[in-house]
Amino acid sequence: MARLQYPAPSFQRTVNGLTVHAWEHPQPDAPPVLLVHGFASNTLFNWVKTGWLDPLAGTGRSILSVDLPGHGASSEVSPSGLRAQDVLRDLHQVAEQAGGKVELHGYSMGARLSWQFAAIRPELVSTLVVGGLPVSDEVYQVEAEQARRWASGGPEPADETTRRFITVASALPNQNLPHVVELRLALAKDHYDPTAEVPAVPTLVVAGTKDEIAAGSPHLADLVSAAGAESRFVEIPGRNHINALTAREYKQEVLSFLTG
């Protein structure tokens, strides 16, 4: 398959505003890979610039990647009023339209959504990869009004947790900051407990050794094993939550997991 280019040859928009980029393999021999990016990122920065597309396409799979509401090609979509279940329903739509099975890979906030989706719709997920997955919803609990005021050009949040996590939204160029922040706040309305619903599908859990957000990730792989599915935890030496995705070891582990 020729080197993949961005933007993708085709895309679609779901009911709740996910933009789905699609690179179709001419003769796929496995379900497509569905990629879900992290907070304040998008397909371009999470997956394209970090070098994921061509290695995944080399495994004989089509690739789908979503831009979540308020992010990337969905930057004009306001997430106000959305809940996690709305995003999960749209991922359901994407998986069904892709033939009823996907190999799901989420990072950070996208890993949270992917974990939840695989837990409630295991029949649609052949394999699950979660990188930088938070083990609780603590990272989502911020001071909403302080975050909104900052995103609209107001003062920096006084709350330390809000300042630490929400200001990440300004790291990438051309962000729609109010919409990026609003999705974070929308997801914070729903309690997230990865131990409550555990995916019973083959799962690879990945985290950098310096990733404080994903501290405790090995326990998640144990939960999957206890649920009766193959699971494995891989630690990426020297990598943190921001730079783990660029690691060669991360890609090699995922490719081995998909093709092994």
Determine, yes or no, domain membership for 171.
no
> In sequence order, what DSSP letters do the residues of 125-186 get, joined into one string?
EEEEEEES--SSSGGG---HHHHHHHHTT-PPPSSHHHHHHHGGGGSSTT--HHHHHHHHHH
Supply the pTM of this predicted model: 0.97
Is residue 142 a contact partner of residue 181, using CB atoms and an 8 Å limit?
no
Determine, yes or no, domain membership for 146.
no
- What digits encode the pLDDT tens for the residues 193-209? 999 999 999 999 999 99
Domain region containing 232:
10-137+177-259
Determine, yes or no, domain membership for 216.
yes
Unique residue bearing structure tokens 């990016």:
37
Determine, yes or no, domain membership for 162.
no
Q: Give the integer Cα–Cα distance in Å for 190 and 143.
A: 15
* Helices 109-120 and 177-188, axial angle in degrees (round to 10): 40
Q: How does strand 33-36 pair with strand 102-107? A: parallel
Q: What is the CATH number of the domain that holds 248?
A: 3.40.50.1820
Determine, yes or no, domain membership for 168.
no
- What digits encode the pLDDT tens for the residues 114-135? 999 999 999 999 999 999 999 9
Higher per-residue confidence, 103 vs 1: 103
Determine, yes or no, domain membership for 95.
yes
- What digits encode the pLDDT tens for the residues 9-48? 999 999 999 999 999 999 999 999 999 999 999 999 999 9
Determine, yes or no, domain membership for 165.
no
Determine, yes or no, domain membership for 5.
no
Domain count across the chain: 1
Q: Given this model, what pLDDT does residue 139 score?
A: 79
From residue 208, alpha-carbon distances to 188, 189, 201, 241 in Å are 24, 28, 23, 7
Q: Give the integer Cα–Cα distance in Å for 253 and 260.
A: 10
Residue 237: DSSP 8-state: T
Q: Given this model, what pLDDT does residue 169 score?
A: 86
Q: Given this model, what pLDDT does residue 165 score?
A: 80
Q: Is 209 left (phi over 0), alpha (psi -120 to 50) or beta?
A: alpha
The pair of structure tokens assigned to 256 is 């081995």
